[in-house]
Amino acid sequence: MVDHKPVVAITGAGDGIGWATAQMFARNGYRVALLDVDADRASQRTRELGEGHADIRCDVSKETEVRAAFDTIAEQFGGLDALINNAGIGSPHLPTSEQTVESFGRILDVHLTGTFLCSREAHAVMAIRQSGSIVNVSSIAGITGLPRRNAYGAAKAGIASMTKSMACEWASVGIRVNAVAPGYVATALVKKLESEGFVDTPRLHRRIPMGRLARPEEIAAAIYFLSSSGASYITGTVLSVDGGWTAFGDAGDAHVPAA
Ligand SMILES: NC(=O)c1ccc[n+]([C@@H]2O[C@H](COP(=O)([O-])OP(=O)(O)OC[C@H]3O[C@@H](n4cnc5c(N)ncnc54)[C@H](O)[C@@H]3O)[C@@H](O)[C@H]2O)c1
């Protein structure tokens, strides 16, 4: 019997936003390919999702690993309907004068090169059927200036730019390309920054008009919408999902608790 379930590949699907997104697509009838550099976690998550899904160990910054991962997807699932470029790492929050080329390069490799490589390989599979959707994960860091986070901001701004160029290039082959730009999300990545003293959560809450961090599921819902038929005429957009962070341009606290 032919399985007509749509297929999504999600990078960094082992934790945080990627894992919430994997669960969202699975609930909506997708077969999920969970790509992650952490093989044990991805395989545990795949077991949690149940039958019909697959985990693939892949460092998105390595061309040979990305090629092999998409070959496996094409072989195992017979096609690809959606790609979510989500894998990412935090930056070290150092003054520019202390930043090294190695660390700068690694952030660009994972976020920017990873998004490029996975999109290129997904395009090759999607173009066969002349249809598909790619959603990239940018950040408020790619829209505004976050001091000490040069590489991360540059990578996320690059992802927003590449989203637009790929959207225009691939519209004629039926592939839509969009991005979400999340604000601060309560995931392991942010908890680590908090424990290292780089993030002061109560202070952040005051800077966010909605007065709280996002839940991973809220980012997953926006990603799912952009992949869905409800967004059939949307391509090349970068959707802020930030509780109002980038809308705020006034002095002082953005969050004013109701009286
Ligand atoms: N958490 C936030 O506040 C926030 C805000 C804006 C954007 N983002 C972006 O959202 C994405 C997910 O962030 P998160 O907070 O869920 O992170 P997370 O640390 O909770 O999860 C990231 C996942 O990516 C995997 N990963 C890391 N490097 C990889 C690589 N080279 N190849 C494949 N997989 C790799 C990790 O193993 C992990 O499973 C990232 O791109 C991040 O920059 C996060």
SS (H, E, C) 6-29: CEEEEECCCCHHHHHHHHHHHHCC
- Which residues surround ligand 1 with Cβ inside 6 Å? 11-12, 14-18, 36-38, 41, 58-61, 86-89, 110, 137, 139, 182, 184-185, 187-190
In a domain, 197, yes or no: yes
Instruction: List the residue whose alpha carbon is closest to atom 20 of ligand 1.
Output: 16
In a domain, 32, yes or no: yes
**Tell me: the pLDDT tens digits for 201-256?**
999 999 999 999 999 999 999 999 999 999 999 999 999 999 999 999 999 999 98
Neighbours of 212 (CB within 10 A): 13
**Tell me: the pLDDT tens digits for 7-47?**
999 999 999 999 999 999 999 999 999 999 999 999 999 99
In a domain, 252, yes or no: no
Report the CATH number that the domain containing residue 30 is assigned in CATH.
3.40.50.720
- CA-CA-CA-CA dihedral for 122, 124, 129, 134, to nearest 10: 30
| Alpha carbon distances (Å) from 155 to 27, 68, 109, 152 | 31, 24, 9, 5
In a domain, 31, yes or no: yes
Q: What is the mean pLDDT of residues 168-183?
A: 98
Report residue 3's pLDDT band, with 50, 70 and 90 as the boundaries.
low
* Residue 233 falls in the annotated catalytic set: no
How many whole angstroms from its chain centre is CA 252? 30
**Tell me: the pLDDT tens digits for 51-62?**
999 999 999 999
Q: Which of 152, 184, 224, 233 is catalytic?
A: 152
Instruction: List the residue whose alpha carbon is closest to atom 19 of ligand 1.
Output: 189
Number of separate domains in the chain: 1
Q: How confident is the model at residue 1, as a pLDDT?
A: 45
Q: How confident is the model at residue 199, as a pLDDT?
A: 87
From 143, 187, 239, mutation site for ligand 1 pocket: most ligand atoms within 8 A of C-beta: 187
Instruction: List the residue whose alpha carbon is closest to atom 40 of ligand 1.
Output: 88
In a domain, 240, yes or no: yes
| Alpha carbon distances (Å) from 145 to 77, 108, 118, 140, 148 | 41, 17, 27, 9, 9
Q: How confident is the model at residue 24, as a pLDDT?
A: 98
In a domain, 218, yes or no: yes
151, pLDDT greater than 80? yes
Q: For residue 2, how far is its CA from the centre of ligand 1 (angstroms)?
A: 34
Instruction: List the residue whose alpha carbon is closest to atom 23 of ligand 1.
Output: 12
Entry pTM: 0.97
Report residue 179's pLDDT band, with 50, 70 and 90 as the boundaries.
very high
Contact 158, 173 (CB under 8 A): no
How many whole angstroms from its chain centre is CA 191? 18
Ligand 1, residue 41: give the atom nearest the CA: 39
In a domain, 256, yes or no: no
From 86, 111, 140, 193, mutation site for ligand 1 pocket: most ligand atoms within 8 A of C-beta: 86
Q: For residue 12, how far is its CA from the centre of ligand 1 (angstroms)?
A: 6
Report residue 257's pLDDT band, with 50, 70 and 90 as the boundaries.
confident
In a domain, 151, yes or no: yes
Higher pLDDT, 193 or 82: 82
Report residue 92's pLDDT band, with 50, 70 and 90 as the boundaries.
confident
Domain range for 63: 7-244
